[in-house]
Amino acid sequence: REALGIGLVAGIICAVFSHSVFPLGNLITEPIGAVVCLAVYRLVKDKTKLAPAVATAVATPASGLTFIAVVCAVMFVTTGASAASLAAYAVALLPIVLSALAVNTIIAQIIAFPAMSVMQKTAVSKVRKHETPAADDAYVVLDNLSFTYSTADKPAVSNVSVKIRKGEFVVVNGPSGSGKTTFARAVAGILPHAYGGTLSGSISVDGKYADEYASVTDLSKKAGMVFDDADAQLIFTTTEEEILTGLETLGLSSEKTAERLAEIYAETKTGHLKDRAPHTLSGGQKQRVALAAALSRSTPLLVLDEAASELDSAARREVYTLLSELRKKGAAVVLIEHMTAETLGFATRMITLREGKIVYDGEPFDEHDENLFVPLEREGSSKEVILEAENISHTFGGVKALDGVSVSFMKGEISAIVGENGSGKTTLMKHLNGLLRPDSGAVRLKGADIAEMQVSDIAKTVGLVFQNPDTMLFAGTCEKEILFGIKNVGGSMTPEEALTAVGLSGKAHVNPRHLSRGERQKLALACVMATNQEVIIMDEPTTGLDARESFEVMKVLTAMRNAGKTILMVTHNPV
């Protein structure tokens, strides 16, 4: 039914804007294409990761050839065209169908990758003790919950029991891979709807088992969620559209909608971004917009998975203040966060997870261990300039991202690039590795102007770890991710050596999508660590890592620096 509905809408749009000889034919062909696409996808989705591309590759010619047949039939009836003329017409349209096939197939797969990383829906088996939840004043109840993802060999969470009430601000912490994201998905109620695996125990939200809600859409009226990957949930063309979509579900008058929109802009400090396309924003700005979109639905429960990880310290405190105000108004707030010290004074409760189990549930406290951080060995850098920018400027859509920036980096040094969200840190980084070219000024690598070099040649010397690791992870296993770089750039480490160095020993054959955000961040680091690149640029390398894990990463980077590599870090956490 949903596929037919989507196909019919697409058919109406095509019928309105089509310049073909029979636009109304789209009302027949688009629904057919949608149903074929769904049928093929269901047949192959468990057999290949390219299921979206395969389904689209079959559906596009099914729709296109049907359209040709419909048009030929109409021409025959209305004009009495000969069979030869109709055959010639059909052959003339085939290149259009084939080109549409190629474009649609590529686009479908590109869109599917981030979507699958957030919501990968497969069958979930459920085992629970009661037909209806016991009466309770808690808004969310996890009762002896265990969950194992369909491709995992051990539970992500195990025997977790917890109650969350309105008016609580719960901060959840724990090392990477401890089950925090799965816990967040469970609290929001979406775990049995959108993620494949085996679930035992139960999840209830607002007095009803989570799996008894008709869909995630129904659950979204009860719980809002901000995912750890803001890119995957920002889908509209402007920031304002992202927020208005939620407001429109509340049935407010146009005046009240405008009033609430202004309030959200003020609360999240996103008003100046209202006409910007989300994909053009910095990582921190995207997180602000994702939070604004979640607030627009005014749900009694708000779950945030590392939703402030890419904000600077001042901006994080602003978010925590906002969340605290929501709590005081009666909402339940659950925040997954590594930097728990900054939530003191805001959070009312702390839950700590380790290996999928709750090991602490009580008053928030600062778990920072001063004895952990022994000063790392410092070695002086050489006087050799390996990478430099000279008076570079760059403008995005009228916004000056860089304005006359000049900086030099020496071989064998670690440098931190810091600044507020939207100050141009990521833009500078993309200039230093050739992904962007300056409007004026020059960037030189070993004295050569990179404007005269191919990006592929620059990549042999300069490695990059993106702010969002999911944008660079695509292979089926961690081992294949690392081997890809070694084969294309060269390297002396084995995949297992690189994984061990970043604390992912034994993960070689694990699918990267089944790692936590922090583990994916470590894997991205392992990918560049295994290569022979002399300069490593990292955009927020400790995102998703707790203090201990961040320190371990810095030890790895120090060892790389001591081996002669140059390390550049964009970070909000220079300490």
Burial letters 79-95, b for 16+ CB under 10 A, else e:
eebeeeebeeeeeebee
pLDDT for the residue 127:
54
Averaged pLDDT for residues 484-490: 87
- Alpha carbon distance 112, 55 (integer Å): 12
Give 552 or 2, the one with higher predicted confidence: 552
Q: Which helix (H) or strand (E) holds 226?
A: strand 223-226
List the structure tokens of 475: 């292979």
pLDDT for the residue 119:
44
Residue type, 7: G
Averaged pLDDT for residues 114-130: 49
Residue type, 528: V
- Nearest 5°: the CA angle 500, 529, 518 is 60
152 and 514 Cβ atoms separated by less than 8 Å: yes
- Has residue 123 got a pLDDT over 50? no
- Going by C-beta distance under 8 Å and a sequence separation of 6 or more, which residues neighbour residue 274? 238, 239, 240, 265
Spatial CA neighbour of 1 closest among 33, 30, 49, 35:
35
Q: Would you put residue 392 in left (φ > 0), alpha (ψ -120 to 50) or beta?
A: beta
Q: Count of alpha carbons within 13 Å of 391, Cβ hemisphere only?
A: 2
Sheet with 399-410: list strands edge to edge.
Answer: 399-410, 385-396, 440-445, 448-449
pLDDT for the residue 120:
46
In whole angstroms, how far apart are CA 434 and each of 208, 347, 428, 489?
53, 43, 10, 16
Averaged pLDDT for residues 336-340: 86
Averaged pLDDT for residues 309-333: 90
Q: How would you class 241 by CB atoms within 10 Å of its CB: exposed for 0-12, middle for 13-18, buried for 19 or more?
A: middle
Confidence of residue 548 (pLDDT cuts 50, 70, 90): confident
- Has residue 455 got a pLDDT over 60? yes
Three-state secondary structure readout of 13-59: HHHHHCCCCCHHHHHHHHHHHHHHHHHHHHHHCCCCCCHHHHHHHHH
Average pLDDT, the chain: 86
Q: How would you class 428 by CB atoms within 10 Å of its CB: exposed for 0-12, middle for 13-18, buried for 19 or more?
A: buried
- Alpha carbon distance 310, 323 (integer Å): 17
- Alpha carbon distance 287, 316 (integer Å): 11
Residue 146 has phi, psi (to 5 degrees) of -130, 140
pLDDT for the residue 121:
45
Give 44 or 568, the one with higher predicted confidence: 568
pLDDT for the residue 367:
65
pLDDT for the residue 117:
46
pLDDT for the residue 134:
59
Confidence of residue 135 (pLDDT cuts 50, 70, 90): low
Q: Which helix (H) or strand (E) holds 449?
A: strand 448-449
- Has residue 337 got a pLDDT over 50? yes
- Alpha carbon distance 512, 476 (integer Å): 7
- Going by C-beta distance under 8 Å and a sequence separation of 6 or more, which residues neighbour residue 565? 412, 533, 534, 535, 536
pLDDT digits (tens, 9 = 90+) for 497-542: 999 988 898 899 988 888 887 888 889 989 988 987 899 998 888 7
- Alpha carbon distance 277, 244 (integer Å): 14
- Alpha carbon distance 546, 551 (integer Å): 9
Location of structure tokens 């600062």: 366
Location of structure tokens 């969002």: 468
- Going by C-beta distance under 8 Å and a sequence separation of 6 or more, which residues neighbour residue 554? 376
Domains, the chain, in order of start with CATH, read: 1-122 (no CATH), 138-222+299-367 (3.40.50.300), 385-571 (3.40.50.300)
